[in-house]
Amino acid sequence: MNTFFADVVRNEIIAYDTNHITFSANLDLQFSAGQFFNLKLQNPDKTSKIQFILRGYSVASSPQKLPIFELCVKIVKYFEKNEHTGENIGEEKKGIGSGFLEKLKKGDRVEFLGPFGHFTKKNKAKKTVMLATGTGIAPMRAICEELSEEGFVTKTVLLYGVSNAKFACYSSFFQNLANLHKNFEYVLFISRETDEEIRKVEELKIVENIVSGRITKGVEDLSVEECVNTDFLICGNPAMVKQVRGILRQEKNVEKSDIVTEQY
């Protein structure tokens, strides 16, 4: 495990409240696609005994790009609540880590620790089904970028779920991979748009395969045969991870050892 510094190369808004940040590391780093780094920050609460705070962020780019690495960050927003009435108090606030990352400019220097985590593709010879919601797409992007560099030797399916189209990240990136590699399939699930809205997104012709509904629909639709000898990588909110894992284990006879998860 390393502590290292990285300089911001670019900070771009790529979807609603979501930034893609490119860094250049000043250390001879190594990591596996799917792993995360911890952002290390001074605790803004000066009255606290804890001097530093850490926040995990999955690397969204292939290790081949080092010393460049990229993060996909959802800017967390919230209101403090009145403890008795539950009503919002004061102005909207931003999360400590994500609010810090949102403001970064080219040339800013940031401290990280890592790499960490076991959310990686273990067996390159097996088929893969990846399931992601929200910024759970970050490690999938790193893994897909790496598999693309290797030519997608085995069948890989990415099912990506968002509530609204405005939250979808990297649509062109994944669609381009699907156009280039016959072994890679990309399906975007949108759960909270009307049919009319989904038609409008389809008309943009960025993503070829859009399904109205939650990602669990895609998992239900997999046949038991499709799940044999397949690795499942699941990343997103805890409720989705639990539900998808449950369907795979109980309805599709998938072995525990064939499922790897990461939850934010």
- Which residues form the interface with ligand FAD (CB under 6 A)? 36, 55-58, 72-74, 76, 78, 80-81, 95-99, 117, 135, 138, 262, 264
Phi and psi at 17, nearest 5°, equal 55, 30
Nearer to ligand FAD, 15 or 157 (CB): 15
Least distance CB 25 / ligand FAD (angstroms) = 17
Check if the beta carbon of residue 73 is closer than 8 Å to that of residue 18: yes
Nearer to ligand FAD, 210 or 234 (CB): 234
Nearer to ligand FAD, 80 or 255 (CB): 80
Count of other CB atoms within 10 angstroms of residue 84: 6
3-state SS assignment for residue 261: strand
Nearer to ligand FAD, 40 or 74 (CB): 74
CA atoms of 10 and 69, how far apart (whole Å): 11
Least distance CB 50 / ligand FAD (angstroms) = 13
Least distance CB 241 / ligand FAD (angstroms) = 12
Least distance CB 133 / ligand FAD (angstroms) = 12
Least distance CB 97 / ligand FAD (angstroms) = 3
Report the candidate in 60, 134, 138, 73 with the shortest Cα–Cα distance to residue 99.
Answer: 73
Least distance CB 182 / ligand FAD (angstroms) = 29
CA atoms of 6 and 107, how far apart (whole Å): 9
Least distance CB 175 / ligand FAD (angstroms) = 21
Nearer to ligand FAD, 169 or 187 (CB): 169
CA atoms of 120 and 87, how far apart (whole Å): 42
Residue with the closest Cβ to ligand FAD? Answer: 95
Nearer to ligand FAD, 72 or 233 (CB): 72
What radius of gyration, in Å, describes the C-alpha atoms of the chain?
Answer: 19
CA atoms of 22 and 141, how far apart (whole Å): 14
Number of Cα atoms under 13 Å in the Cβ half of residue 170: 31
For 172: left if phi > 0, alpha if psi spans -120 to 50, otherwise beta; the answer is alpha
Nearer to ligand FAD, 69 or 186 (CB): 69
CA distances from 169 to 35, 103, 135, 193 (A): 19, 19, 8, 16
